[in-house]
Amino acid sequence: MSIKLQNVNFIYGQGTGKEKQALKNINIEINDGEFLGLAGHTGSGKSTLVQLLNGLERATSGEIFYNGQNIYDKSYNMRKLRSKTGLVFQYPEHQLFETTVINDVQFGPKNLGLPQLEVELRSFNALKMAGIDDSLLDVSPFALSGGQKRRVAIAGVLAMQPEVLVLDEPAAGLDPAGRDEILGLLKKLHKESNTTIILVSHSMEDLAGYVDRMLVMNKGEIVLDGKPGQVFQFEKELEKIGLGVPQPAKVIHQLKEAGADIKGEPVTAEESIEAIYKWLSKEAL
Amino acid sequence: MIRDITIGQYYASDSVIHKLDPRVKVVCTFAYIISLFCFNQLSGYIIAAVFFWCIIKLSKVPFKFVIRGIKPILFMLVFTAMLNLFWTSGGNVLVKFGIITITEEGIERTVFMALRLVFLIIGSSIMTLATTPNQLTDAIEKLLKPLNRVKVPVHEVAMMMSIALRFIPILVEETDKIMKAQLARGADFESGNIFRRIKSMAPIIIPLFVSAARRASDLALAMDARCYNGGSGRTKMKPLEYKGRDIAAYLVMAGYIAVIIIAGKYLPF
């Protein structure tokens, strides 16, 4: 089970004279159960790419295979694809519309045509997973706080139990605590259900501690692909395209340049502290 | 998907007509429309047609775009033509079939009425093709300014118009986004009978209203924070000023009106 993109190109506004190539010759393979980070500056084509993954936009040329099947085949069921790849848009709280929290979360699973009992069960589970208290189930979603709204909206997609979950900037506009909560929720979900998660963000800090693999996009092309530690080795290149690397990785790079004998490629603050500590205790000997 | 919708039909170009002061265009369009009712003989129609043909050529707008303005009123055009054709009495009877009577007079009136309507629509669509919506509201604000004396909030009305116009593309984009988000949640907007389809619009309409209200209140707050308090004492970054070509345009227009009136009085046909 995997997603495979082959020579995918996407051009906005074709035939209007204001054409803009948003994606250039994309070739990637996303494996089952992967926690993938997709990084890129504003306008690099990240959001366009994720919309192709569940068929909301159609590639101008190239093929996309989902579990080995070409999604552009005439016989392919697009609605089924959409139910398997859950897409959480930027600011998902803007799509809430129902009278109560629980009704809103049920919208997705209901559309899948599941029996009512199953719909309710999935919705309760999704809300629980998203950390929404039971006392909020019958409250209007518009009465919640920003962070709570966001989590309800994400629960609305989780309740569909997608095989692949794509999130476009899920932490945008949240305070640090809210951001950690959302990203922690994803990590937990990934661990427990082995869902493939694709996390889109322009913040390297957000991605560093969570993802297994990282894709970096620039001007519609994939420029880097690898583990966060490997990707962060290209500090200069990343800075050139307006991304940079997280502070801890930067400190480690500078120490290494100054001649420190630090092993490995730590990415998070904790890993870096540990690596520096090891190096210092070795120096002291 | 829905992003292809365009409201207003401005056609960008750098022609003389585009460069004219928008007030000139508004006033002249009105004058032109009124002039269409100042004559009742063939020569008048010919003069009016020649005149607006020159304007179209000057504006560099392709004729295809200009003619497109007629499409929405095609039904009305046919309807009024039918009424004129069947319900005009007097003159030589050409066809008589049951209650339907077609007279010579009727045909003449039908043709002239239809022509008049077409001229009217084309005339005003040249204005909207060559003037941006914002220029138009600017012009209307300035032209209606004397009404301030009788306590008509001209500036406020113009401001509301320009805000409404400004918000159209934003809301179109928002609709597109919400639609995609709901599609991703398995929403189905295309199947079922009309009632089902109307019901299936709720997941789009409600978030759209919520976001429109939110944007409106944000905008109000932002305007308030910049001490906006209506039109009194407000200056403009680009004030409308008449230039030589604007005066010339008024003169040409006056000349045209004079020709139309004289032709109406002295030409025999």
Q: Give, for all 285 residues of chain A, the pLDDT tens digit.
A: 588 999 999 988 776 556 788 899 999 999 999 999 999 888 888 989 999 988 888 888 999 999 888 888 888 888 888 888 899 998 999 889 999 999 999 999 998 889 999 999 999 999 998 889 999 999 999 999 888 999 999 999 999 999 999 999 998 888 888 888 889 989 999 998 888 999 998 888 888 888 999 999 999 999 999 998 888 888 888 888 888 888 888 888 888 888 888 877 888 888 888 888 888 888 887
Distances (CA, A) of A272 to A255, B8, B128, B143: 11, 58, 63, 69
Q: Is there a contact between B185 and A51 if contact means CB atoms under 8 Å apart?
A: no
- Mean pLDDT for each 10-residue chunk of chain B (269 residues)? 52 87 92 87 87 90 80 83 78 73 81 87 85 86 88 87 84 89 86 82 91 92 90 80 91 92 80
Size of interface A-B (CB pairs under 8 A): 54
Instruction: Using a CB–CB cutoff of 8 Å, tell me whether A107 touches chain B.
Output: yes
Query: Dihedral, CA atoms, A122, A128, A129, A133, nearest 10 degrees?
Result: 150
Q: Is A99 on the interface with B (CB under 8 A)?
A: no
With 0.80 as the threshold, say if the pTM is over it: no
The answer to whether B186 contacts A157, with C-beta atoms less than 8 Å apart, is no
Which of A51, A83, A97 is opposite residue B206, by nearest beta carbon? A97
Alpha-carbon dihedral sign for residues A275, A279, A281, A282: positive
Establish if A97 touches chain B: CB-CB under 8 angstroms. Answer: yes
Site of tokens 């693999």: A213
Chain A: residue nearest B206 by CA?
A97
Please give the Cα distance from B88 to B98 (Å, whole number). 15
Are the Cβ atoms of B203 and A97 closer than 8 angstroms? yes
Q: Which helix (H) or strand (E) holds B80?
A: helix B74-87
What's the complex ipTM?
A: 0.83
Residue A152 confidence (pLDDT) = 94
A160 in contact with chain B, both atoms CB, cutoff 8 A = yes
